[in-house]
Structure 1
Amino acid sequence: MNRRTFLKRSIGSLLTLLGLSGGTYYYAHDIEPGMLDVSDAELSSGKIPHVFDGFKIVQFSDTHIGYHYTIEQFSDLVSTINAQNPDLILFTGDLVDKPHTYNWNSEIVQILQRIKAKYGKYWIYGNHDHGGYGTQIVKKVMDESGFSLLQNNHTTINIDNQQIVLAGIDDVMLGEPDLQTSLNGANPDLYTILLAHEPDYADNTVHFPVDVQLSGHSHGGQVRLPFIGHLYTPLYAHKYVQGKHTFQNGKLSLFVNRGIGTTRLPYRFLCKPEIHTYTLKADPAS
């Protein structure tokens, strides 16, 4: 950690403690974590077939059910997701906070089964899914819920014999990510979306024929202060914390989702939970 980062975090942590000891504690603990931003973005490219024009994708991430995020809240979230009328659903990891201690039952499967999308529901592992011996538990739940796992592999989404590619890698922190293997056999001329839990992996993705990387993991920092920004993000979410990032090659865009739940500390401040809705646009000019 360099001196600038150390000072930023030290001053920010002090201000956070002072603020949360006053009136903002209630807001950060009880109000903002229950709020939700529905962030809209347009994905435009000449590689997107005309039949995909207006195709809607919803991404949600980092629910961390069980750590100050209840199954009832998750049920409400699913209703909001379905209200977007998605064509495709993408979950970018960290379903529950501690798989090895979570009280698994059929309710979470029933709620996940309610999510509807004509062209499928896909997911990738996050570090909390692998952590705590949760790898097989989480996979079983997602399988039963109708979600397809992308773990160093890809699929194609087809409309009228036109295609886009959807790829996913294993978790960077606790898995064995292999983007080369993920894209084996994929047509590099097709519009390609990659799911990668950790956003900083984009520095590797930029060297592959990928158009968009969708990530989570950072929680947007959870606590953000004016003039200071986020105070802490986990490993592999230090460079890209939230929002859209465009890389120098002009070909890759990265979107970092702030996630739904909280982890480590049960607070959100100036960093509301978020789902993303992406609308594809066929753009012959691009």
Structure 2
Amino acid sequence: MNRRSFLKKILGSTLAVIGLGGGTYYYARDIEPKSLKIHKEEIISSAIPSTFNNFKIIQITDTHIGFQYTLEQFADLVQKINKMNPDIIVFTGDLVDEPNKYKWNNRITDLLHSLHARYGKFWVYGNHDHGGYGTDIVKNVMDQANFHLLKNNHKLIELNNDRIVMAGIDDVMLGTPDLNKTLQKVNPDLFTILLAHEPDFADLAKEYPIDVQLSGHSHGGQVRLPLIGHLYTPAYAEKYVEGTYKIDSSNLTLYVSRGIGTTRVPYRFLCKPEIHEFTLKNE
């Protein structure tokens, strides 16, 4: 970290502590974390077959159930998503905050199972899923909920003899991501979506025939201040923090979601939780 960045974060942290000492503290802890935003985005490309026009993909990420986000809140989210009638649901990692300490029960599995998508539900590992000896625990829950794990592999989504590719890598921080294995035997002309928990992986993904990368992990910084922006993001979410990015001169577009839950500190400030609704459009 250079001197300017260091001073920025020190100043920002100081202002955050001062600001959160008053009424802002209540807002950041109890109001904004529950103020879910549905972010709607069109993905337009000539590589998308016309049969996939208006095909709807819902992305959820970073629920971190058990830290501040509750199963009751998740149950409300499930109802909202089902009312949106998604064609595909993708989950880009970090289901619960501490898998080895979380009190697992059938309800979380039942809620995940009750999510409906016509052409499937897909997920990838996040660092919290692998962390805390959670790798097998989380996989077992997601398997029972009919979520298909994309761990260095892909799935062809077929509609009226046309196809797009849904691919996913293992977690960058604690897993063994392998894009060559992920895209093995994939036709490079097919429209390809990559699920990757950590957004900064896009700098590697841009070298491959990938059209879109969907990520989370950053929480959008979780706490953002006017003029300063986010105070902190974890490793592999330092370059791409939130929103939409066209990656250099490649064909890759990266979408980074702020996610739903919180971690480390139970606050969100000027950084509302969100889910993404993507609608595919043939150019």
Deviation by residue 1:73-118 (Cα, 9 ceiling, x = unmatched): 1111111111211100000000000000000010001100110000
Preserved contact between residue 206 and residue 250 of structure 2 (Cα < 8 Å): no
Letter in 1 for 2:9: R
Letter in 1 for 2:141: V
**Which residue of structure 2 lines up, in the alignment, with residue 6 of structure 1?**
6
Structure 2 CA distance for aligned equivalents of residues 69 and 147 of structure 1: 21
Give, in angstroms, the shift of residue 250 of structure 1: 4.3
Structure 1 CA distance for aligned equivalents of residues 63 and 264 of structure 2: 13
Where do 4+ consecutive residues of structure 1 move more than 4 Å?
A: none
Structure 2 CA distance for aligned equivalents of residues 15 and 159 of structure 1: 52
Deviation by residue 1:185-206 (Cα, 9 ceiling, x = unmatched): 1110000000000000000000
Give, in angstroms, the shift of residue 60 of structure 1: 0.4
Letter in 2 for 1:221: G
Structure 1 CA distance for aligned equivalents of residues 92 and 222 of structure 2: 17
Aligned Cα RMSD in Å?
0.5
List gaps (5 residues or longer) in structure 1.
none
**Which residue of structure 1 lines up, in the alignment, with residue 264 of structure 2?**
264
Report 1:271-282 matches (<5 A): 271-282=271-282
Matched, 1:103 2:86: no
Deviation by residue 1:115-147 (Cα, 9 ceiling, x = unmatched): 000000000000000000000000000000010
Task: Specify the SS of the correspondent of 1:39.
Answer: strand
Deviation by residue 1:27-66 (Cα, 9 ceiling, x = unmatched): 0000000011100111111111110000000000000000
My pick for the range that moved more, 244-253 or 161-170, is 244-253
Deviation by residue 1:150-205 (Cα, 9 ceiling, x = unmatched): 00000110001100001000000000000111000111000000000000000000
TM-score for both structures, normalised by structure 1: 0.98
Matched, 1:157 2:143: no
**Which residue of structure 2 lines up, in the alignment, with residue 87 of structure 1?**
87
Task: Specify the SS of the correspondent of 1:18.
Answer: helix
Structure 1 CA distance for aligned equivalents of residues 202 and 247 of structure 2: 9
Letter in 1 for 2:220: G
Task: Specify the SS of the correspondent of 1:213.
Answer: strand
Give, in angstroms, the shift of residue 248 of structure 1: 2.3
**Which residue of structure 1 lines up, in the alignment, with residue 209 of structure 2?**
209
Equivalent pairs, count? 283
**Which residue of structure 2 lines up, in the alignment, with residue 39 of structure 1?**
39
Structure 2 CA distance for aligned equivalents of residues 270 and 82 of structure 1: 27
